[in-house]
Amino acid sequence: MKVPALAVSSLLLISHFSLAAPVQVVASFTVLADITQQIGGNDVTVKSLVAPNGDPHSFEPTANDSRALAMAQVVVVNGLGLEGWMDRLVMASGYRGKITVASSGITTNTMQEEGKTVTDPHAWNSLANGEIYARNIMKALEKADPEHAADYQKRADAYIQKMQQLDQWAIQQYKSIPANRRLVLTSHDAFGYYGKRYGVTFSAPLGLSTESEASAQQVGDLITQMKKKHIKHYFTENQTDPRLVKQIAVASGATPGGELYPEALSTAEGPAPTYLSAFKYNTEQLLQSMR
């Protein structure tokens, strides 16, 4: 039986759109979701498990998150111990694909917490590391969708160029600030990589995880340290409870410097809806408090 030409054309069209369907990507939290979206463009559909302004340390997955993971073609996580809930979610979802660890290849920072050496997971807060994240994500998308590999490469190159320019801008801005004024109090230790890259010293009552608790002695020591070092400003974080850092600030005489976005982007209406805009906003807030 001869198939009408119109029918053949329709079948080919349907086949084309089927092949061109966006790659389904699940990212653990908003920073990774945005980097993936910038590189993937219209060739991907990205879901962030942790919502804007959400805490990736204390996140509790839902049944909908499990279903989304089960249907994903690419899964992107930070690694380095950030997503303690991820293994349970993968097991519950039945996902059997490869998991892309965006931080792979990072030179990690460590610190002492309760007598143990722990790895700092907040590597993306240095844009030099952000470039490594972007390349790892690009490779994962290319492997999942070879047909659009050249597009992923082109977008990644343009994105990384913007990242490098912003990185150099931050370095130059901080060079104009004396080291003894580059001292800041934040809620928890999320800025270790940032501080190392840009020459800023951060103090915080909480450790690397927002789920840690500060003892009365630790709080007292921090207040003494702030007075001794003349730390004049404190910053809250959009994803954490600000009460403890405000109490320390009152006791030490520090004044508010604003709100930072170290590990959760804002909504589209907020000041930090993308990874690069969050970095620039954080940097501008910090610089303003030091001048």
- Reported as a single tens digit per residue, the pLDDT across 5-27 is 545 455 444 444 445 799 999 99
Dihedrals φ, ψ of 203, to 5°?
-120, 150
The pLDDT value recorded for residue 291 is 81
Quick one: pLDDT at residue 77? 98
Identity (one letter) of the amino acid at 108?
A: T
User: Which amino acid would we find at residue 221?
Assistant: D
DSSP letter at 123 equals: G
Query: Mean pLDDT, to the nearest integer, of 110-122?
Result: 84
**Homologous superfamily assigned to 176-290:** Nitrogenase molybdenum iron protein domain (3.40.50.1980)
Mean pLDDT of 54-64: 92
> In the sheet where 23-27 sits, what is the strand order?
44-48, 23-27, 74-77, 99-101
- Residues 270/160, Cβ–Cβ less than 8 Å: no
The single-letter DSSP state of residue 3 is P
Query: CATH 3.40.50.1980 in the chain, residues?
Result: 5-165, 176-290
Sign of the Cα pseudo-torsion (92, 96, 100, 103, in order): positive
Whole-angstrom CA distances from 221 to 41, 64, 215 are 48, 44, 10
User: Which superfamily is assigned to 5-165 in CATH?
Assistant: Nitrogenase molybdenum iron protein domain (3.40.50.1980)
Amino acid residing at 119 = T
pLDDT of residue 210: 45
Residue 96 φ/ψ, nearest 5 degrees? -120, 5
The percentage of the chain sitting over the pLDDT mark of 90, rounded to a whole number, equals: 62
Query: Which pTM was predicted?
Result: 0.84
68-84 per-position pLDDT tens digit: 999 999 999 999 999 99
Paired strand residues for 260: 237
Residues 115 and 70: beta-carbon distance below 8 Å: no
Region of poorest pLDDT, from 138-152, 184-198, 212-226:
212-226
Convert the pLDDT of each residue in 196-248 to its tens digit: 999 998 876 544 444 445 566 666 766 676 666 667 777 777 656 666 666 76
Phi-psi region of 236 (alpha: psi -120 to 50; beta: other; left: phi over 0): beta
